Amino acid sequence: MLQFRKVEKFYGAHLALTVPDLDLANGMYWIQGENGSGKTTFLKMLAGLHPFKGEIFLGPKNLGVSELGNEDNLGLGKEALRLRESNSEERSSEKPLSILKDRNEFLKKVNYAEAEPLYPPFLTAKDLVELYGATKKADIDAAKQQLEELHILDAYEQTVGTYSSGMVKKLSLVLAFMGNPDWILLDEPLITIDVAAVELVCKWINDWHAKKGISFLISSHQSFAGGLQFTGKLSVSDKTLHVEP
Amino acid sequence: MSKNPIARTLQKILVNHFYQMNAGFFAFLFFVLFGVVKGGQLIDYHYSLIIAFLESPIILVGVIFAWILYTLKCSNYIIKRILEPRQLFLSSLNHLSNKQLFAWMLFVQVQVFAPVWVYATIASAVAIHLHHWAQAGIMILANLVLIVTAARWYSSTIRHHGTTAFLGKWELLQSIQWSIGFVKPVFSFAIFHLFRERKQMLLLTKLFTLLFLYGFIQLYEPYKPDPRPILLCFLLIVGSHSSLILQIRAFEREFLPFLRNLPVKISVRFLQLLLTYALLFLPEYIYVWSAYPLHFTLLEYPKIVLMVLSLAAFLHSILLVYDMLSEDYLNSVFGMMAVLFFVLLYNPGILFFLLVLLVAYVFFHHHIYG
């Protein structure tokens, strides 16, 4: 579960985004909003890339029975509730991780792929995969397998500067799947990649959610055409994050 | 600023950006040219300098060589900037005729080359006044050739957008070169970036600092080992690296935000920063051994190493505090150098530099995540 408490993002004196106090149960969420509404800002705050006011927690909340039953407050579906309950049982003894106080533990559980990833052009995919492998305690062979499925393993030892934008995007998606995350944040995951890769990425998301219980927050202007079974939808408008009913 | 949209765009995207990103270099140049002598002696000092290269062909060749290096610095920077994916819109200038495009590129080059041609104009006026006609002609011709050549490079780059620009083949070589070998550790990223994107700046800085160190070691013979002069040398060496530190920070801001999503302790990130600067100053760390044991004792070497690391880390950390491009940073650099100049005269112990390192770490810790 993700818990947002008095989260606000300012750029200078300008308030860019407000997230109301919100408990987001495990699940698969589609974040929608106009260009510039703050979707990327929201994901970057959650991924530790942007500083913000307030606090974000990851992990179980000590919820009472009455609170667990009050799904209307959260705007969540049954699946979310079921997963939340399951999560709560599994981790009842665990303390929620604060992004501010337990940053490293938090980031081990939250992976992120940018909409337009930018890496130093002299790095190779190997450099990045090994770096993520070491820091996220991830299986490098599994990442290489995913690169192969996306048909970019041949370029594994080439510098990113020689990649097309689609190849860089594929690489960033594979990096976001590395390690043992609880949540994967994908900002516009389907842009610039080819049709076959879109299908494959959707399959990964569904499989990882169903089999590993990994939650997803996905921003996209594109329709998934029924490719993804979302738990719920979030929207960003008027500089505020809303949970769609 | 001009109301012409082309002039305004080129001014902002190329000229202003060039000066902003090289502010450290210019501040250092300004300090060397105008800060080392008293105000009242400034005109005499520069008049003597100009006379020196008017009357010595070898010095004049050296001066023109420095102008060529500066031209390479400008042109490499501007061409890289034009080739950046986000500046792709500059290819809209292709609707201009060759003459118009060249004229606009002259507009750019005349501005970024101003420090040279302004000084050269004054030197040429002095040369004409003293009837050194040949020297005046050579200087004027050299400036014209360098300005026109660079402007032609820029025009060619915009026309062909890197496909046949003179850096095109070099880029290909680099992509092969960097792809060979080992997995690059995080602390080496910034150094790779400098080697790849800021070659001239790196080369000039290293050339200057190593020549400076060489000159000092050769010319100064203390009666007994005293670390203060060599510490003052290294203070100037760190100061001369301030523009490289600015570049490293700019590189981090542009290309390394993704590292923030990685679960790495702040202390480890700080250690990586120290390793980056240890790598950057490795040539000076090695070369200074030629001054051993005349200038410093074995026990004083760690103090030199720590001083350089702590000052570099401090400069880097204040760039985290302020998102500064020029004035504030340079004020901080000169302020730090001025204060440390007097502190070093009292030969502070290693604890002082540990304290500077601690201050740098506190800044780093509080501001690394914005």
Q: Please give the Cα distance from B363 to B340 (Å, whole number).
A: 19
Residue A49 touches partner B, C-beta closer than 8 Å: yes
pLDDT at A77 > cutoff 50: no
Please give the pLDDT value at position B220. 84
pLDDT at A90 > cutoff 80: no
**CB A120 to CB B256 under 8 A?**
yes
Which residues of B sit within 8 Å Cβ distance of A? 174-175, 178-179, 183-184, 186, 189, 192-193, 196, 251, 254-258, 260-265, 369-370
Q: What is the mean pLDDT of chain A?
A: 85
Please give the pLDDT value at position A93. 53
Please give the pLDDT value at position B45. 83
**CB B174 to CB A122 under 8 A?**
yes
Which band of pLDDT confidence, cut at 50, 70 and 90, is reported for residue B304? very high
pLDDT at A71 > cutoff 50: no
| Chain segment B239-252, per-residue pLDDT in tens | 989 889 989 999 99
Six-digit token pair at A146? 């995913």
| Chain segment B341-355, per-residue pLDDT in tens | 999 989 898 999 999
**CB A130 to CB B261 under 8 A?**
no
Q: Is the model more confident about B284 or about B27?
A: B284
Question: In 3D, which of A180, A193, A125 has the Cα closest to residue A155?
Answer: A125
Mean pLDDT, residues B78-87: 85
| Best-predicted range by mean pLDDT (A89-93, B97-101, B222-226, B324-328) | B97-101
Q: Please give the Cα distance from B67 to B77 (Å, whole number).
A: 15
pLDDT at A81 > cutoff 60: no
Q: Please give the Cα distance from B82 to A97 (Å, whole number).
A: 45
pLDDT at A69 > cutoff 70: no
Residue A131 touches partner B, C-beta closer than 8 Å: yes
Please give the pLDDT value at position B15. 92
**What is the helix (H) or strand (E) element at residue B330, kind and residue range?**
helix B327-345
Phi, psi angle pair for B140, to nearest 5°: -65, -45
Six-digit token pair at A71? 């799904």
**Ranges A163-177, A197-211, B323-337: which has the least confidence:** B323-337
CA dihedral A127, A149, A79, A217 (to 10 degrees): 40
- Percent with pLDDT over 70 in chain A: 85
Mean pLDDT, residues B74-90: 85
Q: Please give the Cα distance from A54 to A4 (Å, whole number).
A: 8
Q: Is the model more confident about B300 or about B160?
A: B300
Q: Please give the Cα distance from B165 to B174 (Å, whole number).
A: 15
In chain A the domains, ranked by start, together with CATH numbers, are 2-243 (3.40.50.300)
Please give the pLDDT value at position B198. 83
Please give the pLDDT value at position B149. 92
**According to the 3-state scheme, what is the secondary structure of B126-164?**
HHHHCCCHHHHHHHHHHHHHHHHHHHHHHHHHHHHCCCC
Please give the pLDDT value at position B181. 66
Which band of pLDDT confidence, cut at 50, 70 and 90, is reported for residue B62? confident
- Distances B304 to A95, B28, B353 between C-alpha atoms, Å: 46, 22, 9
Q: Please give the Cα distance from B83 to B72 (Å, whole number).
A: 16
**CB A123 to CB B264 under 8 A?**
no
**CB A104 to CB B179 under 8 A?**
no
Q: Please give the Cα distance from A78 to A229 (Å, whole number).
A: 13
Nearest by CB to B257, from A49, A130, A157: name it. A49
Please give the pLDDT value at position A226. 63
CA distance B254 to chain A (A): 8
Please give the pLDDT value at position B1. 52
Nearest by CB to A47, from B178, B256, B261: name it. B261
pLDDT at A61 > cutoff 60: no
CA distance A78 to chain B (A): 31
Q: What is the mean pLDDT of chain B?
A: 86
ipTM: 0.85
Q: Please give the Cα distance from B296 to B298 (Å, whole number).
A: 7
pLDDT at B151 > cutoff 90: yes
Give the rounded distance of the alpha carbon of B200 from its chain centre.
8
Q: Please give the Cα distance from A83 to B270 (Å, whole number).
A: 39
Please give the pLDDT value at position A74. 42
Please give the pLDDT value at position B189. 96
